[in-house]
Amino acid sequence: MFKKILIANRGEIALRVICAARELGIKTVAVYSQADEHQLHVRFADEVVCIGPPRSAESYLNVPAIISAAEITGCDAIHPGYGFLSESAYLAEVCEACHIRFIGPSPHVIRLMGDKARARRAMKKAGVPILPGSDGPVDSEERGLKVAKELGYPVIIKAANGGGGRGMRIVRTPADLASALRTATREAQAAFGVGDVYIEKYVEGPRHIEFQILGDHHGNVVHLGERECSIQRRHQKLIEEAPSPVFTERQRKKLGGIVVDAAKAVQYTNAGTFEFLMDQQGNTFFIEANTRLQVEHGVTELVTGIDIVKEQIRIAAGEKLSFKQGDIEIRGAAIECRVNAEDPVTFAPSPGVINAYSVPGGPGVRIDTFAHADCTVSPYYDSLVAKIMTHGRDRTEAIARMKRTLDMTVVEGIKTTIPVHKRILEEADFVAGRLSTAFMDRFAVEKPAAGGSSLAAAG
Ligand code: ADP
């Protein structure tokens, strides 16, 4: 087992990794930017290294600074969390070259899944149902028009190297295709450094369903069931739950089995999430795989009792999975509300100092956060402040627990999305489990501004 892990991240996820490492008796090294000196992950790590100025490009995305920090402190592994460098095949490769274990999949798998057009092809080959779409990147207007005509409108143009719900364009008529293609290519180039885009059939009002998997280095892969993340705003998740209120045991077994086989086919190791859209007829189609820990991994932990971060560390250290598919049981239901430092009406970021903070405990409540009274929510990073999770014997109990937890939560000094969550939980459709990615349209107060203002953490 490792002796010391460097955590190449900040905020609640850095603390989450510290929790797992401590329970395993492993020392931790926190890295931090000059803006984060007083953050809790710096306080609770065994050792700390300042890696640069506040801007993430110069600190949390600075591979040389992170590798140097790991070498100076004698770390034998790096956990990248989510966001930042968590899906950087380059960091995984540099780690390999420096004999530091990267806690995540191999550089090869990260690269494959990071190119969504290639990932679609690989999944199709492995027998996973994918959404109809272009076979690879679409680089001309003629080709785009041809693909879209074959698929039938509406279609969606997506950046091959995209993420975080950004850079997608829905096209409803042939007349709009050429300009959408040009804009999407330009945006993809600017945001992700690669201008490749591909076209997919656009599904109206789908559900977002994703499977959590774990794979060790001995050929064992299991799935931990599905999560439903249909409550989104501008393609970014707000509320996630496990299991999906509409998935049957049979569907779980069937799609879970397909995902496990596909993961084995690409030699997937460590934790990963295979994302699907479910159309209104109940068909599920693969959209992408994320080669990292997800923000919403906690709801799966609550219903399975498996500590995914500890498993990631054990797997990276070369241990075999200690359980088989048949040992995994889904117990009750869990929900997560992402509390962001944002205006609850406009969703504009609301950084600042939290001057009063109190959260309730009680049965079935888990809160993953870096927040406390007098802490600063920095304008430099994403706006996720806390993940409030509740677990109940069933979905009704989990919802009741979430409502009373939100009612008893006090966060003052900054604006948060708690009022948004309260409204969602009151909706009859939510209570009945009638979810879709279009759910939030009912609350729209304004035409969304171009470009997107929300800085919510990546999925
Ligand atoms: P990202 O990597 O940017 O998060 P995803 O491919 O995971 O992008 O998609 C994010 C969200 O965008 C989905 O959960 C869904 O709401 C929406 N979306 C993506 N592809 C489609 C599609 N083909 N049809 C309808 N909605 C889509």
Predicted local distance difference test score (pLDDT) of residue 453: 37
Q: What share of the chain is helix, strand, coil (3-state, %, to 5)?
A: 35, 25, 40
Which residue owns the Cα nearest ligand 1 atom 22?
202
pTM value is 0.95
Residues pairing with 101 in the sheet: 77
Distance 165 CA to ligand 1 centre (A): 7
Q: Which mean pLDDT values do the consecutive 10-residue runs of the chain (459 residues) have?
A: 98 98 98 98 98 97 98 98 97 98 98 96 97 93 96 96 86 96 92 93 97 98 98 96 97 98 98 98 97 98 98 98 97 98 96 97 98 97 98 98 98 98 98 98 69 40
Predicted local distance difference test score (pLDDT) of residue 164: 79
The burial of 422, by beta-carbon neighbours within 10 Å (0-12 exposed, 13-18 middle, 19 or more buried), is given as: middle
The C-alpha atoms of residue 284 and residue 129 are separated, in whole angstroms, by 7
Query: Of 228, 295, 227, 286, which is closest to residue 262 (Cα–Cα)?
Result: 286
Region of 228 on the Ramachandran plot (φ > 0 left; ψ -120 to 50 alpha; else beta): beta
Among the atoms of ligand 1, which is closest to the Cα of residue 159? 3
Tell me which of 120, 234, 235, 280 to substitute to probe ligand 1's pocket, judged by most ligand atoms within 8 Å of the beta carbon. 235
CB of 294 closer than 6 angstroms to any ligand 1 atom: no
> Are 200 and 131 within 8 A, CB to CB?
yes
Strand order in the sheet with 155-159: 169-171, 155-159, 197-201
CB of 167 closer than 6 angstroms to any ligand 1 atom: no
Separation of CA 71 from chain center: 28
> Are 107 and 267 within 8 A, CB to CB?
no
Separation of CA 346 from chain center: 23
Distance 220 CA to ligand 1 centre (A): 29
Q: Which domains does the chain have, with CATH numbers?
A: 4-103 (3.40.50.20), 132-201 (3.30.1490.20), 207-455 (3.30.470.20)
| Strand residues in 133-283 grouped as ranges (E) | 155-159, 169-171, 197-201, 207-215, 221-233, 236-242, 270-278
> Which position has the token pair 């790991």?
70
Distance 127 CA to ligand 1 centre (A): 21
Q: pLDDT tens, 22-81?
A: 999 999 999 999 999 999 999 999 999 999 999 999 999 999 999 999 999 999 999 999
The burial of 318, by beta-carbon neighbours within 10 Å (0-12 exposed, 13-18 middle, 19 or more buried), is given as: exposed
- Residues taking part in catalysis: 292
